[in-house]
Structure 1
């Protein structure tokens, strides 16, 4: 058994990340105030209304309603704040909490919000272009957060991320450089892409990669001039605390 979970970094921020916390709160509010009370049938209707549906976006559904074209664009935003379940929600928000504050610090509040939304839209459009006939609603913040991951990787690749690991009988924590943790995440996405494109539903891997590519492209233009790329970490990499599980 092998399990890794990043949960903290050594990267301080200069200012309180108000936009990042707003995004976290908005996702929690939408899920627990609107989605959580819905029945299964109502959930499906909710996803059809607020999820991003490629076939609907491109007008492939019959009958096509041209008056709804503006709303189809709006769903590239609304889908970012909707989630398929509690694990989906908290998995995304953990990554947003972990990496978003530093990216906001590097970009500034307004630019960070624009960056986040643009990465989410880029993710949705990438998913749509890879499967334009799909009628499966796409929901979740992971596309936008993939852009945040890209920004963090460009700016702070040598920051150290505290990772919980479980390897057979050994559990513990270890500081790993962000380029290893996030590089492994990118590798996982690339490996999973072919299978994702063959399946009708599941994880929208193309959206993750589209959001990541959007983040790579946007970060150099939106970051503050004084913020440097490839900044160093504030702790020693590979420092660890390991325990053996007793039986």
Structure 2
């Protein structure tokens, strides 16, 4: 539908989005190691081992030939760093680059990392609950990135975001309309799933967005205070 290009919200606290950059780098490296030059069978092996398989996670059912390099609960984290193709990777990383720097600015480096991972885990859990009988592995950073979008929406609703609509038309819109519209699209798509879009984990997107929304709402007052400029100091004088 659209891709984000850039926003007009400057950093206020941190000098650079080091965690965001590190997450992007890790995702790219992992993809180069697992999906970029791997056969479909090889990618499926990685996805089955490090991705979330709902029927196994929620029912603790292990097929005889199951590949488990990590404990099943840990896949709530590892699945966030696997991608099924270049477009899957580039799309997620582009959204992350445009919106995550300001969220990292609000949360701080370490706080943002924890926030990101929690949103991803919540996304995986909602997908698992909705698709509890599915043997198909879930992979991708979309759920965690969705949490970042929700946080940006709450913290910077009036920010100006340039998007490329239909991959052709550049438009400057407020973050409120861009991100709320994106979320509505996820909900509509989740309830109108067809064979063509069944491979998209819409409920993971929704779960990550809701987790980001709740966490940011709960912490919003602290985050806004952190991003507010310090009050100017004025000289005091004794008056007699």
TM-score, scaled relative to structure 1: 0.82
Q: Mark the structure with the bigger radius of gyration.
A: 2
Secondary structure (helix, strand or coil) at the match of 1:136 reads coil
Whether the 8 Å contact between 2:43 and 2:84 is mirrored in structure 1 is no
TM-score, scaled relative to structure 2: 0.84
Aligned to 2:156: 156
Q: CA deviation at 1:166?
A: 5.3
Q: Which runs of 5+ in 2 are unaligned?
A: 229-240
Aligned to 2:117: 117
Change (3 A) 1:47 1:188: same
Change (3 A) 1:18 1:96: same
CA distance in 2, matches of 1:47, 1:201: 17
Secondary structure (helix, strand or coil) at the match of 1:6 reads strand
CA distance in 2, matches of 1:54, 1:189: 20
Aligned pairs, number? 223
Q: 1:61-76, aligned counterparts within 5 Å?
A: 61=61, 63=63, 71-76=71-76
Change (3 A) 1:199 1:59: farther
Aligned to 2:224: 227
Aligned to 2:235: none
Aligned to 1:56: 56
Q: Which runs of 5+ in 1 are unaligned?
A: 232-247
CA RMSD of aligned residues (A): 2.7
Q: 1:1-247, aligned counterparts within 5 Å?
A: 4-14=2-12, 15-59=15-59, 61=61, 63=63, 71-165=71-165, 172-196=169-193, 201-222=198-219, 225=222, 227=224
Secondary structure (helix, strand or coil) at the match of 1:196 reads coil
Whether the 8 Å contact between 1:149 and 1:182 is mirrored in structure 2 is yes
Structure with bigger strand share is 1
